[in-house]
Structure 1
Amino acid sequence: MPADLAVVGLGHLGLPLAQAAVSAGIETLAYDPRHTTELAAGRLPAGEGALTTADLRRMLSGGFRPTTNPAELGRVRTAVICAPTPLGADRTPDLTEVAEAARALAPRLRPHTTVILESPAYPGTTEEFLRPLLEEGSGLTAGRDFHLAHSPGRFDAGSRTHTYATTPKVIGGLTPACTESAAAFYSRLTDKVVRARGPREAEATHLLETNFRHVNIALVNEMAVLCHDLNVDLWDVIRCAETKPFGFQAFRPGPGVGGHAVALDPAYLPHTARTPGHPLRLVGLAQEVNQRMPQYVIQRAATLLNEHGKSARGARILLLGVTYKADIADQQGAPAEEIATRLMQMGASISYHDPHIPHWRVLGQPVPRADSLYEAAADADLTLLLQPHRTYDLQGLAVKAQLLLDTRGATPVGAAHRL
């Protein structure tokens, strides 16, 4: 059966795109050898927490069709590659799954098809990496026989404010015709389409957006440490600063930075994408600051325990919220794992509570999950709030907990120790 759209790669970008497309009445084919079988059976992939099982059921009844047969990719008018591109051990983006997606699509690629890359990528990926794979595998020429473009993935998981339809999409095509073809597709899903000059500009847009987030989080993380040492209430400082109507945007500190959009320093990019002698030094410094935050949380926790006559060794510590972001089930890059690991290595007894994570393993061992939140907080020597899910009654929690360290500044003023 023909479909208007094929989404190749069904992770944190592909599933929301498919959901938006189905909601817009677009027949959507889904291809991902890792996940299509379970999706077809109505089961969400583990760790992809942006959607619910109910969302998936509605998609399946509305025109969402997962397939394990790559031959079906040749029947669509638009194909969007949303394969993950995690950073490898050498801090370079791993494009393995993008290459696999391209190789699955290329032999089936028909003239006039529009191919869009949404995967996070360094400037030049669409033209210098994806384009040759598609052309060699199909015998077609990008920009002449088929349209090729990049559109950086933008999805605010768990947000009730920034929906797919209300979030503008940036598009950069290999040619003006490529841009317009991609724009015609996305205009069916979103209220606003922004045309970049080309794929490199679109790719660099994602680079800027991601690094902007990491650099500013690093700034407030450093301010958190400084203000604690100076006995200054940082949260009140931020409250006051964000009243400035120009030149300031509020960011808030936390126990670390998680998520799929990792900071990227061009010093680690493939040589074709580097700018010799001009690394983004601020990005490297931001990474160092943010990577130190889990250890800083451990130090604060140990100090609080010590001040109350207890040692981290043998202490009962409850971790609240182990996802990277509030109100979703995605644990990608969440600092909770490193914090739990370090505490366990110090001899602490760890348990956790998270309404979105029924099971959790650290160092290969299952971590006990608290059944009753209030009872667990009352029993724990220290409760660490790492992610303030909406379901948490933080006022009540602060009353029940023996000792509460709030790493997100979410509890009422004076109710807990804050980062």
Structure 2
Amino acid sequence: MTLMEKITSRKATVGVLGLGYVGLPLAVEKAKAGFNVIGFDIQKSKVDMVNAGHNYIGDVVDSDLEKLVKDKKLRATTDYDEINNCDVITICVPTPLDKFKQPDLTYIVESTKQIKTRLHKGMLVTLESTTYPGTTNEVVLPILEETGLKVGKDFFLAFSPERVDPGNLIYKTKNTPKIVGGVTPECTKHAKAMYEAILDAPVKVVSSPREAEMAKILENTFRIVNIALANEMALVSHRMGINYWEVIDAAATKPFGFMPFYPGPGVGGHCIPIDPFYLTYKAREYDYHTRLIELAGEINDSMSEYVVERLSDLLNDRKKCMNGSKILVMGVAYKGDIDDIRESPALKVIEHLEKKGSVVVYHDPYIPNFVHNNKRYESVPITKELLDSIDGVIITTAHKKRVDYKFLIENAPLVFDTKNVTKDIVQKYPNLYVL
């Protein structure tokens, strides 16, 4: 039976390398589509949870995972020798930046090496990890071809960028359109068939992996640049005494030529603050300096320090010094109503507060504890006693559920809302300030 026949008949065994925010939802959807799925991860704790049917990713339905494991459609392992049993392998591993904002492809390279030693004829390999244009052809392909097998003939290789948006109630893995670019036409053909077999969404084919890789970078560069614009406009509006949130609402009434983006204490998540700098790195090879991306990054990175300075000014107006003040940070997740703290600007806000001598406590209904810079933090309950003991509150995450903002405002001496999450509270409070 050919690989194409295995894909169309759902008889292919599919492997997913990396069971995180991208990999686990993808593994679940592949299993729900009828494929036998093996999830691979170096963290035994994740593997054990999957095999027990216990979910740890917000975008996965608990009952779906439990049923798939029970029906033996999905299992997980740390044993990479099981790649030998797979017809299709998808790489969904992290692609972080180092301290110099240069790409760290360690996880991609190591995953590809694991595949190389088990690569066999008739196998499809797809890379979903976000990276710079050229990675599939220049990094992944040479490693796989060390086997002597020929791409497009003996095995197939393609890039298809992940488009996960944690907490999105409308678009999930299943119904989000896909982009696919194969190294050869046969690679594209097989990858397209695979994604069409599991998704209820269109699959857009592009000429090569490079176009698919660049499309993902463009998507997130579009966002980082527009968020930086929103942040800069907020800074200027504050100096001019203009309510920028009202400005955004007014501009958004235009039915064409405008899309609202919102300011805040910075940009978080694994995509927006990271992905554009993959292009910045790669562009240097072509003697090009991506000035707009780097400036956008500078503006967004500066916002955490800016909001702390604003809070310091508000405390000073009340004859309070930031040094020694007890500050409650409301929310450490990088976006509202999720439990993900990756690259969260709230962590930078906490760093700046502590550098200024503040005593920091935090509350997040989704994150009971976390470790940052080797220090452990525990979420504190919001009580009248707590609010009586603090000098100020800074809202850094727009959680719309599980937080009683009215109670917070009515009992805290000072509240600085950097996300405008209190906008629906009609009553005006003299102790409430908005970015």
With the shorter chain as reference, the TM-score category is over 0.9
Q: Which residue is equivalent to 1:322?
A: 332
Contact map agreement 1:102 1:134 (CA 8 A) in 2: yes
Q: Which residue is equivalent to 1:17?
A: 26
- Aligned residue type for 1:366: R
3-state SS of the aligned residue for 1:102? helix
Contact map agreement 1:317 1:351 (CA 8 A) in 2: yes
Which residues of 2 match residues 351-390 of structure 1 at below 5 A? Answer: 351-372=361-382, 375-389=385-399, 390=401
Q: Which residue is equivalent to 1:417?
A: 433
Stretch of structure 1 that moved more, 48-57 or 167-176: 48-57
Contact map agreement 2:231 2:303 (CA 8 A) in 1: yes
Taking a change above 3 Å as real, the CA distance of residues 243 and 114 of structure 1, as seen in their structure-2 partners, is: same
Contact map agreement 2:53 2:70 (CA 8 A) in 1: no
Query: Displacement, 1:371?
Result: 2.1
* Overall identity of the aligned pairs, in %: 39
- Aligned residue type for 1:386: T
Q: Which residue is equivalent to 1:399?
A: 410
2: CA distance, partners of 1:10 / 1:70:
14
2: CA distance, partners of 1:373 / 1:59:
42
2: CA distance, partners of 1:74 / 1:178:
20
Query: Displacement, 1:264?
Result: 2.5
1:107-141 Cα offsets, whole Å, 9 max, x none, are 222222111000111111001100011121x3311
> Out of 335, 342, 350, which is 1:340 matched to?
350
> Out of 284, 294, 300, which is 1:290 matched to?
300
Contact map agreement 1:85 1:95 (CA 8 A) in 2: yes
Q: Which residue is equivalent to 1:264?
A: 276
Query: Displacement, 1:263?
Result: 4.3
Taking a change above 3 Å as real, the CA distance of residues 276 and 139 of structure 1, as seen in their structure-2 partners, is: closer
Contact map agreement 2:368 2:378 (CA 8 A) in 1: no
Q: Which residue is equivalent to 2:231?
A: 221
2: CA distance, partners of 1:376 / 1:186:
51
Q: Which residue is equivalent to 1:231?
A: 241
Tell me whether 1:125 sits opposite 2:130 in the alignment.
no
Stretch of structure 1 that moved more, 350-359 or 148-157: 350-359
1: CA distance, partners of 2:262 / 2:149:
49
Tell me whether 1:194 sits opposite 2:207 in the alignment.
no
Unmatched tracts of structure 2, length 5 or more: 1-10
Which residues of 2 match residues 130-149 of structure 1 at below 5 A? Answer: 130-136=140-146, 138-149=147-158
Tell me whether 1:154 sits opposite 2:163 in the alignment.
yes
Contact map agreement 2:365 2:403 (CA 8 A) in 1: no
Aligned length: 413
Stretch of structure 1 that moved more, 284-293 or 32-41: 32-41
- Aligned residue type for 2:391: D
Which residues of 2 match residues 86-125 of structure 1 at below 5 A? Answer: 86-125=96-135
Query: Displacement, 1:159?
Result: 0.9
1:143-171 Cα offsets, whole Å, 9 max, x none, are 11111100111011011011222210111
2: CA distance, partners of 1:376 / 1:22:
47
3-state SS of the aligned residue for 2:191? helix
Contact map agreement 1:266 1:274 (CA 8 A) in 2: no
- Aligned residue type for 1:5: V
Tell me whether 1:241 sits opposite 2:251 in the alignment.
yes
> Out of 78, 83, 90, which is 1:68 matched to?
78
Contact map agreement 2:332 2:347 (CA 8 A) in 1: yes
Contact map agreement 2:175 2:199 (CA 8 A) in 1: no
3-state SS of the aligned residue for 1:319? strand
Tell me whether 1:209 sits opposite 2:219 in the alignment.
yes
Contact map agreement 2:333 2:346 (CA 8 A) in 1: yes
Q: Which residue is equivalent to 1:253?
A: 263
Query: Displacement, 1:64?
Result: 1.8
- Aligned residue type for 2:413: Q
Contact map agreement 1:374 1:400 (CA 8 A) in 2: yes
Stretch of structure 1 that moved more, 255-264 or 55-64: 55-64
Q: Which residue is equivalent to 1:304?
A: 314
Q: TM-score, normalised by structure 1?
A: 0.92
- Aligned residue type for 1:395: K
Taking a change above 3 Å as real, the CA distance of residues 199 and 362 of structure 1, as seen in their structure-2 partners, is: closer
3-state SS of the aligned residue for 2:286? coil
Contact map agreement 2:387 2:411 (CA 8 A) in 1: yes
CA RMSD of aligned residues (A): 2.1
Contact map agreement 1:341 1:362 (CA 8 A) in 2: no
Stretch of structure 1 that moved more, 147-156 or 356-365: 356-365
- Aligned residue type for 1:417: Y
Q: TM-score, normalised by structure 2?
A: 0.89
Tell me whether 1:79 sits opposite 2:79 in the alignment.
no
Q: Which residue is equivalent to 2:5?
A: none
1:284-303 Cα offsets, whole Å, 9 max, x none, are 10010011001001101111
> Out of 160, 179, 199, which is 1:170 matched to?
179
